[in-house]
Amino acid sequence: MKFSIVNEHKSEALPKLKGLCPHCGAEMIARCGRVKVWHWAHKTKEVCDPWWESETEWHRDWKGHFPVEWQEVTHIDPITGEKHIADVKNSHGLVIEFQHSPIKYEERCSREEFYGKMVWVVNGTRGSLDESYFNMGLSGPIQKDPLAYQISWLSRGKLLHNWGESKVKVYLDFGKDIIWRLVFFDSTNKIGAVGPLPKSVFIDDCLKGTEISVSKLDEDE
CB-based contact 38:17 (threshold 8 Å): no
Q: Can you tell me the mean pLDDT for 167-196?
A: 96
Q: How far is CA 4 from CA 46, 48, 78, 211, in A?
A: 15, 13, 24, 31
What is the C-alpha to C-alpha distance for residues 202 and 179, in angstroms, rounded to an integer? 8
Looking at the DSSP bridge assignments, the partners of residue 78 are none
- Predicted local distance difference test score (pLDDT) of residue 168: 97
Q: Can you tell me the mean pLDDT for 160-186?
A: 96
Confidence of residue 219 (pLDDT cuts 50, 70, 90): low
- Predicted local distance difference test score (pLDDT) of residue 220: 54
